[in-house]
Structures are given as C-alpha cells and as structure tokens.
Amino acid sequence: MKRTILFLTLAAGLLVPQGAVAQVPTTDGAEEAQTSRLSIGGYGEAAFSRHFYSDNQYRYKNWKQYANDPSNGQFDIPHAVFYIGYDFGSGWTLGTEIEFEHTGTGVATEIEADEGGEYEKEVEKGGEVALEQWWLNKRFARWANVRVGHIIVPVGLNNAHHEPTNFFTVYRPEGENTILPSTWHDTGVSLWGQAGDFRYELLMVAGLNALQYSRDGWIHGGAASAFEFKPANKYGYAFRLDNYTVPGLRMAMSGYYGQGMHNNYPNEMEGAGKLYSSLKAHTLVGSIDFSYDAHNWIVRGQADYGYVSDTPMLNIVKANMQKNSNANVSKVGRNAAAYSVEAGYDVLSQVPAARAKGKKLYLFGRYEYYNSYIPEETQTRYEYTGRHVATAGINYRPLPQIVVKAEGSYRKLKEPFNDEPSVNIGVAYEGFFR
C-alpha cells in the first residue's frame, strides 16, 4: 500500500489523489504489512508526425518563400522516464525520476585517419538526460508533509499532470509547454498536505534566470542552468491549491512569483554603482485549471497568464550579452498567455463486452490559444507568436496503463503567415513494475 501511494505522488507530479493521502503511514511509526519498500515504475512515449508546412527556420520571416514547401515527417521518443522510490518507514519516503528526452544525448570520440590521426569529439545525437525529481519527504500528518530536494513546481495543468495518460494529444499540450518550463522542476523545499476536500502545496525553489527568457518560449528556458550547479542568488515562490468537493471534478489554482534578474553566474550586474543593478525582471504567473472524469466523459481545461517587469531594459541587456555567454539574446515580451479546453467521450462505454474488459476508446476534440510574446506598446511586435490550435482524434486504451493516440491538428497563425496543419500518431504507457 505504501508503495502504491508513493508512486501515485510521483506520477501525478506531486498531486496525490484525494483519498490516497489518508493511506500514507501515520506519524507514530506504525507500519502496514507490505511486500517491498522499493517501488519501480515509469512512463514513455513514441510518436510519428507529418507536418504539412515548411520546417525552414525562416518560414515566419519570409513566409511567401516557404508557402509551398513539401511536407516533412519525424519520429520521436519525447519522453522515457523511470521512477525509483523507497519507503524508509516512520513517515520518511524517497522519490526519484530520471528522464530521457528524445532518447537522450550522445557524444563520441573518433580518430580521424585522414587528418594525421587527430582525436575529435562529435555530437552523435541531440536530446537530454535529466534528474527530474529527487526528494526526501517527511510526513507528520495527513495535512502536514515536508519535501526537500529536486521537486516538481506544479504551476499549471501540464506541470501538475504531465504524464502521457493525462492528456489526449500525442505531444504535451502546446500552450503551457511553450510558455512555461516543462516539466518545471527545481531544487528547494515544499510544504504540502490535504485537509478535507482540499490539497495544498507551498514551495520555495531556486529562482528563474531572466537571461534565458525568450520571444518564442517566454520563461520556458528560465529554469535551466548551463553550470554544474543551479545559481540561487534569488528565490522563487509557488503555490497550488486543488479542490475535490464534486465527485469526478478537480479544480485548481496555482501561481509563481520570483525575481528573474541577477540570478546568473557570475552575478556581475548587481551591486553598488552597477549599471543594471535596478533591473529586477519580477516574474509572476497565475493559473487555473480543472479536470472532470465521470459519466464516460473526460474534460480538461486551463488558463495561464504571466507578467515580467522591466522588459524594455531586460531586452537591451540580453542584446548586449557576450556572444559566447549562455544568455538567450532574443527579445522577451512583458506578458504571455495560454488557454485551452479538451473533451473526450468513451464510445466503448456503450459496448458491454469492451466495457467488461476495461477497454476505452475516446473520441476527443481540443482547442487552445497561446501567445509567447505579448509586448509593451514600445516593443517590437512579432505577430506569428499568437496561435490558435484545433485538434481532433482518438485515444484507445486496451489497458489502463497503455494508450494509442492519433490526431489531426491545425495551427492557425495571424495573416499573412502560413497555417500549420499536421497529423500525429503515438503510443504511450505509464506503469509500476514493482
């Protein structure tokens, strides 16, 4: 039982389902019978896409030139994640999550015979390997837990529920995945618990780095660090509150605040007499989301809105950074937004034989709007960053842990930019092996 509860916590991005929290061990040291303290699990996705638009990097700058380009396709392993958890007893638990994005990354050393036997290192493939979670949790009561380590920052629907069985689309929903770090994870401390129909979480983590904000991703890159450590000259503060009063319905609000400037290494811009010491880049994000799962329907929705202060001065600083620095020199807008709703109905619920075997087939539709660059009046405008996306498709679940997805998607940009239709097919799982 403890093993199951531990990984429900991991798999839900630290959002333990209502009712599951009550089954965590009590603080008096009493322990339930169990087969093992060790838990192993994970999730993964494989995807194929065909894009019926140009993949040229200048397609927004010179849209006429690329309007009739041929389609292009790609195979991808967006995420392959492995969980390892351990229950030490007496209210102490460990959670870890190791993630391979796009099958990881690789570098090889080769001897170039035609260059006098020189040793050369070559990048074999792109991708990322990341320790997405590593934390120790101490439970004092159902309503009082402390988690310390590398943790999920559950701001927005996508970060709180980022496993592939928690959204209909083949890839993670575009809007939040574009404007927010995704999955947003950082090192810090979290106080969380559940009381009645409410679950809360309060976090203090390392702050974001405004020099990594961008036009096409807003604060998406701000949680990353190019160094062996994460600079934490400034701190970020986040919260999440979920309500489960209505059966089948979860409603939530979440948010983040932190100073984005002067959180880089070396911190050379802050201090007495420094030209940019007054630049703060205060960053605020507010989000509401919900999910409904009952009567053979699944409906989800979210709305995010964000603000960064001092963006005109911030863009000047970014443009003047050294070319070999780790800064993103593209402009960042003062605001960003993302809104979406998706709904799916299980048509196999009307087939008794399929229903008896637990099979599900959801026909779904989804609409979202997002804009990663909403500038002040004095800032340069880039109209292509505002996008409407309509998607329709199916999710077939032969088992609760496995889903096969297929969809058609149409991304509409503001005229005169070319629209971007695509077809995506994928398969995903989330399971616990022990």
Percent of the chain with pLDDT over 70: 88
Nearest residue to 39 via CA among 119, 117, 94, 115: 94
DSSP per-residue codes, 53-65: S---TTTTTSTTT
User: Would you list the domain boundaries of the chain?
Assistant: 2-432
Q: What CATH code is assigned to 2-432?
A: 2.40.160.10
pLDDT in tens, 128-137: 888 999 999 9
Q: What is the pLDDT of residue 35?
A: 57
Tell me the C-alpha distance between 398 and 290, whole Å: 26
The confidence score (pLDDT) of residue 103 equals 87
Q: What is the mean pLDDT of the chain?
A: 89
Say whether pLDDT at 22 is over 70: no
Distances (CA, A) of 190 to 151, 199, 221, 386, 428: 8, 13, 22, 34, 30
**Greater model confidence, 317 or 20:** 317
Q: Higher model confidence: residue 22 or residue 358?
A: 358
Residue 49: closest CA among 74, 24, 66: 74
As a whole number, mean pLDDT of residues 116-133 equals 74
Per-residue confidence band for 117, with pLDDT thresholds at 50, 70 and 90:
low
Mean pLDDT of the 293-320 span: 96
How many angstroms separate the CA atoms of 245 and 276, rounded? 48
